[in-house]
């Protein structure tokens, strides 16, 4: 699958107005999204790369092929999980012991149905994005992508086994609009408070108001994207970029949608 | 999740497979049963191996470490998900904390003590649509450390019902890197009463659903299984015993056929998901409504909204392990 | 208007400087009419009439003259003559103009010789040198007083006239503006009223200068969505009018008719009566909205009807025919609201009407639900773009309603079957425990989905329907259960009866499983109850026999329960004569025959069975009269037979 996108930067004072404009354009209410995003990095054992031991067993061609394969790119990839506002700052689901103890008095706001966040039931998706294609003639950011559902709960064990190490995590908050084939995501990045980097994803989330803005000014990123099933089909790719250009025209008076800098979207692991 | 056993009879590339013989032996061993096919089944397995050791090392005296494998398996009788079984890295870089469901290490391997030198394995099940995507991801983005070695398929298996057993037979063909016949695989499934079947499947919202079948027939199913127990009445040791007892039934069944084969029944980690389920059930049953909050505030996600819901993501994990065990040719 | 105008535009009517004195006026009248004595009303009238007559006569005369000389040659001659005259006049005029030009040019040549020279004729240039004519201002002779007075009077008159004209124009403009403002005010007020009622008012996308009102449904199919916008035009007086473009102004609706046993038994009424041309703008908008909705509804119905042609649904140009259940047929068509429903009223039944009305409401609710689903689909993350366009699935409008009707019909049938069978058993004084029926017991999904309650409610209706019947029978620990599934939304289509028995006394009786025909179900249930009766007889008679020592051996034993056959083993071992009973059960009656057979063990059949003694077949039927006739109960009868041996 390929993803074609255009980006725009939206200053915080324009955010509200743009939300309204987009709601009018797409004839829908914005859908608020909150996502945990875990970053994983592919690893390999030290000393593996670049080893070119000459051998009689292997044909020269095979060796070249192997070398090419072994020195291929490795990537960062994201594991994305939707969360809801009530998941933030809530406790883990109560265990029976604590439940017994704190039935009546010890709970500060008293209701037994206070929201809880259960990490073991958190759904996840593996979202991979390649570095954007270089030198494409059309003025959109086009990159290879894949998206796969993972089992709920703890993904780190499986990801480790698959060759990925957990690096860090952050949260994305924003609003989603759909305009025919185009998804329009107006979002910004939130960091966890404290900043002490844990080596594992959090099992509980801090209160949403304690999250800190990644971009201090609070500005948002507008990403308009279309996903194309078959990136080798030139016709569909062209259609997709035409649609994006159409949207760019429609939003011309509000925001300037443009191609992103290729290297800023580089996902390769060095 | 029924208890199963898997047998594999390898064959030479150009010789006929054992399929015919097994069918005849089945007919001969159970003369009272009408041996008519009740359905078809299929399987596909893809084997990936880590790249370490692919290149001949210059200093040959260095002992190559155990190769690690990642296996993708899809079975037509578990259409809601595919299985990925991966060896954990030897030296876990980020020590994976034992998630509470794994619990103490004791009971996991209690069924069959793990004597094999192979590293611990991680079982993952994913929806069919993501199954292919993930495989492509590994072959594209993980080339430096995973290499696709083998694809095997059972394109046209046959299912028989023999007494309390269900038997799935099929020829295993290798389709990658070269096409050839590898042998015959037989899955024997115990369909009689079983403690394992009495443990209800927990739904995504944390509540327990008695019986897997929809509709009002659930009560009957439990009765038919002959077991209707409260969660407190089943212990993990019961499950181990149940597995061991059923394994002997399956071995006896196979013994009546008299065919030499590679067996996979009580392999490491078999029954792990059943015990997890039991643990969750006991937890839920002990008075606490787990009360997973259902999301009503309508928040969505960029990615999460089309995620398929799998009613029982762990069903078939045992048989998948068994298939993977017998079909892991060292390559 | 003119009164309230504070700025005086008209000249103030000024007093004459010196009004005509009376003597002057009298002199004038005398001059004109003669002596005053001769001037009276009659004379004046005559004079006026005379003058009018004269004018009229003149015209008539001229016309007559024209008519008389219609001779062509004469006319031609006259034509030539006239033409010559015209030319002559023209020439003369030209000449005079030339003279005048020459004269003025010559005069000017004194002051501006270069300019004047250009307009001077060649002849005059030769004859008179330039600048040979001069002019000088001379003092005019003093005009007589009367002349100057005249001139000033005339010029004043002109001025007044012009002022008046200007004033009139301004006043006209003012009043025109005023009506215009009034019209605009009215228009905008009405637009505001429309807006305040909650309608979406916006500019028309293709006609930027005019306003439109959006009344359609955003989630309809595009062709109907685009029809949901009409422009708000302003009439001359400012009244708002709705310009719907090409849409027929007629209000139409989807009519549901129910045909029962080939006769019309119910018909749905239009949801809103059409207004009679003088409705408010709100009414018009509502009507336009309803019409769009009804049109779309019918369009979608036809689309769905084509997709479910396999259920026997047929479509014609403007009619959908749906065979719903046994004798029920449903017709859907799109008709004008004001079309006179002159259907024969006599066969309209309460039930038929309620079906028709219910169905009419159902399909509308389901379309609204489909709209909501469209919104849901539209606002979901789009699927990856592929070259293929994805077909839009047909909405579920007919299918859920049809499933309901079919399901209900099957449930009623099963209820009546069970009622009949139980009635037969009751008539034989057997008292089977009552069965329980759970109609529409489709499991309600407990998962709270984020969708609104309304959508969940309608969504329930789209799931496959299920009704279950459970019952225990006379045999202890035996029971039966029947589940009726109806599903028209996804394969497998249709209704299945899932029948299962639990009959521990006859373990080899297998549950029939899934059946799809009523006959099969009836046969299965009847068979089960027959077995039940047979077992009950054998069990009860043995119970009784325990009490009566002398009859210890004489009990009915079921030998062929499947055929309802029982036998009394004879006490005398050598006797070949045995008594045999054969029971038959149907939904109408329970009948019982008793034979005496002659064979070794009494179980022989075929030729060996010789009904030497043949009792009259004894039947039990559910009697329509509540008071039971004096029939013995089955059990009594049977035990009597035992003792009679």
Considering the entire predicted model, what is its pTM? 0.71
* Portion of chain B with pLDDT greater than 70, in percent: 69
Peptide bond before residue A110 is cis, with ω within 30 degrees of 0 = no
- Within 8 A of A45 by CB-CB distance, chain B residues are 52
Q: Which string of DSSP letters, residue by residue, matches C18-87?
A: SPPPHHHHHHHHHHHH--GGG--HHHHHHHHHHHHHHHHHHHHHHHHHHHH---HHHHHHHHHHHHHHHH
Please indicate whether residue A44 or residue B117 has the higher confidence score (pLDDT): A44
The better pLDDT of the pair C34, C444 is held by C34
Collect all residues with Cβ–Cβ distance below 8 Å to A60 and sequence separation of at least 6.
Answer: none
CA dist., res. B108 & res. B102, Å (int) = 8
Q: How do the residues of chain B divide into helix, strand and coil, expressed in percent and rounded to 5?
A: 30, 25, 45
**A128 closest CA partner among A151, A144, A104:** A144
Residue C447: which of B205, B220, B303 has the nearest Cβ? B205
The residue among C511 and B122 whose pLDDT is bigger is B122
Is 0.90 exceeded by the ipTM?
no
Model confidence at C58: pLDDT above 50: yes
Closest Cα partner for B65 from B37, B89, B41?
B89
The Cα–Cα gap between C357 and C330 comes to 12
Contact call for A183 and C387, based on CB within 8 A: no
- Evaluate if residue C569 carries a pLDDT over 70: no
Residue of C nearest to A243 (CA): C385
| Residue B210 reports pLDDT greater than 60 | no
| Domain regions of chain A by residue span | 2-269
**Tens-place pLDDT, residues C227-265:** 888 888 888 888 888 877 765 567 788 888 888 888 888
Higher pLDDT, A118 or C609: A118
- C120 near C102, Cβ under 8 Å? yes
How many angstroms separate the CA atoms of A190 and A201, rounded? 15
Question: pLDDT at position C181, please?
Answer: 93
C582 - beta bridge partners?
A: C565, C593
Indicate the pLDDT class of residue C616, thresholds 50, 70 and 90: low
Q: HSE-up of C604 (CA within 13 Å, CB side)? A: 16
* Confidence (pLDDT) at C86: 94
Q: Which residue has the higher pLDDT, B213 or C125?
A: C125
Q: How many CB atoms lie within 10 A of CB C129?
A: 10
User: Confidence band (pLDDT; 50, 70, 90) for A101?
Assistant: very low
- How much is the CA Rg of chain B, to the nearest whole Å? 21
Strands annotated E in C477-617: 479-487, 494-502, 513-515, 557-560, 565-568, 577-585, 590-598
B249 Cβ contact list (under 8 Å, min separation 6): B190, B192
What are C496-507's pLDDT values in tens digits? 888 888 777 776
Whole-number Å distance between alpha carbons of C163 and C153: 15
- If you measure CA to CA, which chain C residue comes closest to A230? C386
DSSP C334-386: EEETTS-----STT--HHHHHHHHHHHHHHHHHHHHHHHHHHHHHTSPPPPB-
Contact list, C380 vs chain A (CB under 8 Å): 178
Mean pLDDT score, A158-169: 91
Give the phi and the psi of residue A216 in degrees, each rounded to 5.
-60, -30
Q: Taking all residues of chain C, what is their mean pLDDT, rounded to a whole number?
A: 79
Q: Which of B122, B287, B304, B310 to mutate to test the interface with A (most CBs of A within 10 A)?
A: B304
Question: How many alpha carbons fall within 13 Å on the CB side of residue A227?
Answer: 17
Q: How confident is the model at residue A21 (pLDDT cuts 50, 70, 90)?
A: very high
pLDDT interval class at C170 (50, 70, 90)? very high
Confidence of residue C599 (pLDDT cuts 50, 70, 90): low
Name the more confident of C610 and C496. Answer: C496
Instruction: Give the rounded percent of residues in chain A with a pLDDT score beyond 70.
Output: 84
Kindly give the pairing relationship between strand C328-336 and strand C252-260: antiparallel
Q: For residue B85, how many other CB atoms are within 10 A of its CB?
A: 24
Query: What are the tokens at B215?
Result: 């509709």
Packing angle between helix C145-196 and helix C281-307, nearest 10 degrees? 40
| Average pLDDT of the residues in C150-156 | 91
DSSP characters for C252-296? EEEEEEEEETTEEEEEPPPSSPPP-S---HHHHHHHHHHHHHHHH
Among A58-72, A121-135, C34-48, C162-176, the minimum mean pLDDT is found in: A58-72
Residue of higher predicted confidence among C293 and C510: C293
DSSP C296-326: HHHHHHHHHHHHTGGGT-EEETTEEEEEEET
Alpha carbon distance B61, B53 (integer Å): 13
Residue A56 confidence (pLDDT) above 60: no
Please confirm whether the linkage preceding C492 is cis (ω < 30° from 0). Answer: yes
Taking CA atoms, C199 is separated from A169, B239, C192, C212, C239, in Å, by 47, 66, 10, 10, 18
Percent of chain A beyond pLDDT 90? Answer: 51
User: What is the length of chain B?
Assistant: 331
Mean pLDDT of C311-333: 86
Least confident window among B28-42, B209-223, B231-245, C69-83: B209-223
Contacts of C588 (CB under 8 A, 6+ apart): C420, C424, C621
Cα separation, C418 vs C413, in Å, equals 9
What is the DSSP secondary structure assignment for residue A265, as one 8-state letter?
G
- Model confidence at C555, pLDDT cuts 50, 70, 90, reads low
In which region does residue C389 sit, left (phi positive, over 0), alpha (psi from -120 to 50) or beta (all else)? beta
- The average pLDDT across B187-197 equals 84
The larger pLDDT score, comparing residue C430 to residue B69, is at: B69
> Residue B37 pLDDT > 60, yes or no?
yes
Residue B104 has pLDDT above 90, yes or no: no
User: What are A196-241's pLDDT values in tens digits?
Assistant: 667 888 888 898 888 999 989 999 999 999 999 988 888 999 999 9
pLDDT at B208: 57
Torsion of CA B9, B10, B13, B16, to 10 degrees: -20
Mean pLDDT along residues B169-182: 89
Distance from CA of B65 to the nearest CA of A (A): 12
pLDDT of the residue at C2: 45
CB neighbour list of residue A214: distance below 8 Å, 6 or more residues apart: A170, A188, A189, A190, A191
Taking residues A22-36, report their average pLDDT: 92
Q: Using the beta-carbon criterion (under 8 Å), do A125 and B89 form an inter-chain contact?
A: no
pLDDT band at B107 (very low <50, low <70, confident <90, very high): very low
pLDDT greater than 80 at residue B141? yes
Q: Report the C-alpha gap between B127 and A235 in whole angstroms.
A: 30
**C533 has pLDDT over 90:** no
Question: Where do we find the tokens 């107005």?
Answer: A17
Cβ within 8 Å of residue C266, ≥6 positions away: C257, C258, C260, C348, C349, C351, C352, C353, C354, C355, C356, C357
Which positions ≥6 away from B263 have C-beta within 8 Å? B5, B6, B7, B251, B254, B326
CB-CB contact of C609 with C597 (8 Å): yes
Whether residue B307 lies within 8 A of chain A, CB to CB, comes out as: yes
Q: Which of B216, B220, B295 sits opposite C468 (nearest CB)?
A: B216
Measured between alpha carbons, how far is residue C419 from residues B51, C432, C434, C480, C626 in Å?
74, 12, 10, 15, 15
Give the model's pLDDT for residue C573: 54
Interface test with A, best of C385, C451, C452 (most A CBs within 10 A): C385
Q: Average of pLDDT values for B21-46?
A: 88
* Among the ranges given (B162-176, C2-16, C24-38, C507-521), the one the predictor scored with the smallest mean pLDDT: C2-16
Instruction: Give chain B's count of helices (H) and strands (E).
Output: 8, 11
Beta strands B37-50 and C200-203 are unpaired
Say what percent of chain C tops pLDDT 70: 79
Mean pLDDT of C299-320: 88
Query: Quick one: pLDDT at residue B191?
Result: 86
Touching C: which chains, 3+ CB pairs < 8 A? Answer: A, B
Which residue from A27, A28, A183 is facing C382, i.e. has the nearest CB?
Answer: A183
Q: What is the mean pLDDT of residues B266-272?
A: 85
Q: Which residues of C touch A235 (CB under 8 A)?
A: 387
Q: Which two tokens stand for residue A185?
A: 């995501």
Search chain C and give the residue with CA nearest A2: C384
Whether the predicted pLDDT of A247 surpasses 70: yes
Check pLDDT > 90 for residue C172.
yes
Q: How far is C195 from C182, CA to CA, in rounded Å? A: 20
Task: Give pLDDT, residue C285.
Answer: 85
Distance CA C516, CA C497 (A): 6
How is residue A231 written in tokens?
């990136």
Contacting residues for C11 by C-beta, under 8 A, at least 6 apart: C159, C160, C163, C164, C167
Q: What is the CA radius of gyration of chain A?
A: 22
Among the partner-chain residues A69, A77, A82, the one whose CB lies closest to the CB of B304 is: A82
- Residue B282's contacts (CB-CB under 8 Å, 6 or more residues apart) are B231, B232
Rounded to an integer, the average pLDDT of C459-488 is 83
- Helix segments in C122-219, DSSP class H: 122-127, 145-196
**Residue C541 above 90 pLDDT?**
no
Residue in C closest to B214 by C-alpha? C443
Given this model, what pLDDT does residue C93 score?
95
Interchain proximity A161–B89, CB inside 8 Å: yes
Give, in order, the Cα–Cα distances in Å from C71 to each of C60, C67, C146: 20, 10, 55
What is the least distance, in Å, from the CA of B211 to any CA of chain A? 21
Q: What is the pLDDT of residues C279-301, one digit of tens each?
A: 778 888 888 888 889 989 999 99
With cut-offs at 50, 70 and 90, classify the pLDDT of residue C204.
Answer: confident
Mean pLDDT of C53-57: 72
CA distance C489 to chain A (A): 27
CATH number of A2-269: 2.40.320.10
Structure tokens at B236: 């993990």
Helix/strand/coil for A156: helix
Burial of B42 by CB count in 10 Å (0-12 exposed, 13-18 middle, 19+ buried)?
middle
Q: Which residue has the higher pLDDT, A157 or B14?
A: A157
- pLDDT higher at C598 or C610: C598
Report the pLDDT value the prediction gives residue C366, as an integer from 0 to 100: 92
Give the end-to-end CA distance of chain C in Å, rounded to a whole number: 123
Residue of A nearest to B141 (CA): A74
Query: Could you tell me the pLDDT band of residue B308, with boundaries at 50, 70 and 90?
Result: low
Beta carbons within 10 angstroms of residue A75's beta carbon: 21
């Amino acid at each position: 699958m390929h993803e074609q996108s255009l980006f725009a930067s939206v200053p915080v004072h324009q955010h509200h107005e743009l939300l309204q404009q987009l709601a009018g354009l797409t004839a829908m209410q914005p859908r608020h999204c909150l996502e945990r995003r875990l970053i994983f990095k592919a690893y390999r054992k030290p000393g593996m790369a670049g080893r070119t031991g000459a051998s009689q067993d292997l044909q020269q061609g095979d060796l070249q092929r192997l070398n090419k394969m072994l020195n291929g790119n490795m990537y960062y990839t994201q594991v994305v999980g939707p969360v809801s506002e009530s998941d933030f700052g809530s406790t883990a689901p109560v265990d029976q012991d604590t439940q017994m103890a704190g039935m009546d008095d010890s709970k500060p706001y008293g209701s037994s149905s206070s929201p809880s966040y259960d990490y073991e039931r958190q759904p996840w998706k593996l979202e991979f994005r390649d570095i954007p294609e270089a030198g494409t003639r059309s003025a959109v950011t086009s990159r290879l992508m894949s998206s796969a559902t993972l089992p709920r709960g703890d993904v780190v064990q499986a990801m480790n086994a698959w060759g990925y190490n957990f690096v860090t995590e952050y949260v994305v908050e924003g609003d989603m609009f759909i305009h025919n084939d185009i998804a329009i995501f107006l979002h910004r990045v939130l960091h966890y408070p404290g900043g002490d980097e844990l080596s594992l994803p959090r099992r509980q989330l801090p209160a949403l108001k304690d999250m800190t803005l990644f971009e201090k000014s609070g500005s948002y990123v507008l990403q308009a994207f279309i996903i194309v099933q078959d990136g080798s089909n030139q016709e569909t790719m062209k259609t997709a970029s035409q649609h994006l250009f159409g949207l760019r025209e429609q939003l011309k008076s509000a925001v300037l949608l443009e191609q992103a800098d290729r290297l800023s979207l580089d996902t390769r692991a060095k | 999740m029924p208890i199963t056993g898997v047998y594999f009879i390898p064959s030479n590339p150009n010789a006929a497979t054992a399929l015919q013989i097994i069918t005849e032996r089945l007919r001969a061993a159970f003369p009272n049963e009408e041996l008519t096919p009740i359905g078809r089944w299929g399987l596909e397995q893809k084997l990936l191996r880590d790249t370490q050791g692919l290149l001949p090392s210059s200093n040959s005296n260095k002992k190559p470490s155990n190769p690690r494998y990642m296996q993708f398996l899809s079975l037509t009788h578990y259409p809601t998900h595919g299985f990925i079984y991966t060896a954990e890295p030897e030296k876990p870089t980020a020590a994976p904390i034992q998630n509470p469901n794994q619990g103490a290490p004791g009971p996991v391997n209690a069924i069959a003590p793990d004597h094999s030198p192979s590293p611990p394995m991680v079982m993952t099940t994913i929806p069919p649509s993501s199954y292919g995507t993930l495989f492509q991801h590994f072959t594209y983005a993980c080339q430096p450390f995973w290499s696709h070695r083998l694809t095997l398929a059972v394109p046209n298996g046959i299912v028989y019902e023999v007494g309390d057993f269900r038997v799935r037979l099929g020829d295993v063909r290798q389709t990658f890197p070269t096409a050839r016949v590898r042998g015959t695989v037989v899955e024997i499934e115990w369909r009689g009463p079983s403690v394992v079947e009495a443990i209800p499947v927990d739904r995504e919202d944390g509540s327990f659903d008695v019986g897997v079948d929809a509709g009002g027939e659930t009560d009957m199913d439990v009765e038919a299984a002959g077991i209707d127990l409260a969660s407190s009445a089943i212990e993990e040791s019961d499950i181990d015993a149940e597995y061991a007892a059923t394994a002997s039934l399956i071995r006896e069944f196979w013994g009546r056929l008299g065919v030499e084969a590679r067996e996979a029944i009580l392999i490491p980690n078999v029954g792990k998901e059943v015990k997890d389920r039991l643990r969750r059930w006991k937890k839920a049953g002990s008075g606490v409504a787990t009360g997973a909050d259902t999301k009503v505030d309508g928040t969505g996600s960029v990615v999460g909204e089309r995620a398929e819901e799998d009613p029982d993501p762990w069903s078939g994990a045992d048989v998948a392990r068994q298939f993977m065990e017998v079909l892991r040719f060292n390559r | 208007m003119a009164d309230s105008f504070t700025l005086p535009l008209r000249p103030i009517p000024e007093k004459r400087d010196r009004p005509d004195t009376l003597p002057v006026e009298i002199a004038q009248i005398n001059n004109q009419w003669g002596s005053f004595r001769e001037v009276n009303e009659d004379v004046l009238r005559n004079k006026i009439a005379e003058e009018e007559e004269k004018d009229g006569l003149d015209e008539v005369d001229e016309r007559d003259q024209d008519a008389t000389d219609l001779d062509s040659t004469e006319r031609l001659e006259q034509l030539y003559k006239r033409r010559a005259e015209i030319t002559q006049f023209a020439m003369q005029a030209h000449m005079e103009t030339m003279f005048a030009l020459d004269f003025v040019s010559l005069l000017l040549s004194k002051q501006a010789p270069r300019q004047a020279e250009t307009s001077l004729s060649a002849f005059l240039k030769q004859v008179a040198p330039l600048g040979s004519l001069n002019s000088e201002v001379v003092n005019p002779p003093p005009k007589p007083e009367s002349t100057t007075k005249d001139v000033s009077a005339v010029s004043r008159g002109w001025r007044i006239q012009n002022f008046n004209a200007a004033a009139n124009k301004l006043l006209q403009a003012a009043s025109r503006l005023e009506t215009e403002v009034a019209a605009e005010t009215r228009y905008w007020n009405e637009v505001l009223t429309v807006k305040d009622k909650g309608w979406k008012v916006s500019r028309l996308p293709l006609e930027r200068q005019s306003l439109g009102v959006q009344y359609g449904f955003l989630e309809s199919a595009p062709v109907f969505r685009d029809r949901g916008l009409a422009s708000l035009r302003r009439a001359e007086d400012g009244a708002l009018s709705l310009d719907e473009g090409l849409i027929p102004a007629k209000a139409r609706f989807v009519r549901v008719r129910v045909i029962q046993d080939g006769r019309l038994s119910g018909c749905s009424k239009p949801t809103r009566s059409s207004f009679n041309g003088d409705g408010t703008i709100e009414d018009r908008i509502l009507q336009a909205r309803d019409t769009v909705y009804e049109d779309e509804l019918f369009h979608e119905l036809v689309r769905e009807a084509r997709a479910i042609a396999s259920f026997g649904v047929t479509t014609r140009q403007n009619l959908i025919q749906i065979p719903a259940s046994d004798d029920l047929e449903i017709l859907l068509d799109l008709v004008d609201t004001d079309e006179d429903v002159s259907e024969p009223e006599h066969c309209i039944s309460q039930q038929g009407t309620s079906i028709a009305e219910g169905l009419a409401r159902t399909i509308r609710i389901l379309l609204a639900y489909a709209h909501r689903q469209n919104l849901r689909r539209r606002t979901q993350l789009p699927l990856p773009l592929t070259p293929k366009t994805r077909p839009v699935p047909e909405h579920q409008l007919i299918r859920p309603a049809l499933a309901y009707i079919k399901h209900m019909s099957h449930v009623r049938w099963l209820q009546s079957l069970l009622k009949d069978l139980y009635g037969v058993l009751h008539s034989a004084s057997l008292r089977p425990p009552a069965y329980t029926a759970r109609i529409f017991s489709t499991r309600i999904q407990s998962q709270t989905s984020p969708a609104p309650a309304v959508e969940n409610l309608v969504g329930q209706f789209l799931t496959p329907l299920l009704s279950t019947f459970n019952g225990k029978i006379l045999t202890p620990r035996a029971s039966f259960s029947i589940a009726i599934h109806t599903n028209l939304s996804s394969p497998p289509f249709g209704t299945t009866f899932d029948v299962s028995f639990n009959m521990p006394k006859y373990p080899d009786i297998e549950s029939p499983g899934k059946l799809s025909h009523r006959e099969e179900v009836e046969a299965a249930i009847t068979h089960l109850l027959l077995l039940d009766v047979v077992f009950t007889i054998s069990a009860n008679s043995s119970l009784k026999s325990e009490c009566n020592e002398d009859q210890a051996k004489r009990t009915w034993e079921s030998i062929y329960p499947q055929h309802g056959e029982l036998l009394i083993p004879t006490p005398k071992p050598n006797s070949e004569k045995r008594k045999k009973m054969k029971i038959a059960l149907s939904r109408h009656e329970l009948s019982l025959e008793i034979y005496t057979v002659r064979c070794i063990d009494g179980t022989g059949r075929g030729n060996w069975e010789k009904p030497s003694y043949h009792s009259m077949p004894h039947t039990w039927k559910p009697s329509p009269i509540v008071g039971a006739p004096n029939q013995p109960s089955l059990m009594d009868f049977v035990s009597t037979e035992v003792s009679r041996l």
